Amino acid sequence: MKCIFCELSDIKLREIIVASDETARAFLTNIPITPGHALIAPTRHVANFEELTETEVHSILRLHKIISGALRKTFGAEGFNCAWNEGAAAGQSVPHFHLHVVPRKKGDSGITEYDPRKFLYRPGSRAETPEQELREVAKQIRGSLDFK
């Protein structure tokens, strides 16, 4: 499958990149939610967060900090929605990891209720999970951890 982020021409990228370093770049999306909506992606093609190197993760977070400051100054952003979709089942349409940084301020349209259950998951309320069940799930996850 071709990757639109990897195939962007140098000329096109120069026009929309707002910041970059050796391993990552921040550029404007062509379908912004609000003005200044940026994507931060590694220059190397990787699909998922787990494939990123420590250096790439550091670069992405560093660029996030830089871009957020610039978006506060440029657009008066009062906050941000920051997210990535991972895998087709989660809505990832470009198979290249990218972090969305969406500047937000009071009065913006779009998502207005920030409870993840209302915009990421199934609609409707959910009962609180009993503590014993949470302990069991945590134990299962800990048993699968693989620290390097």
Catalytic residues: 98
Residues 131, 133, 136: CA angle, nearest 5 degrees = 110
% helix / strand / coil in the chain, to the nearest 5? Answer: 40, 15, 45
Residues 6+ apart with CB under 8 A from 103: 34, 35, 36, 37, 68, 71, 72, 75, 77, 79, 80
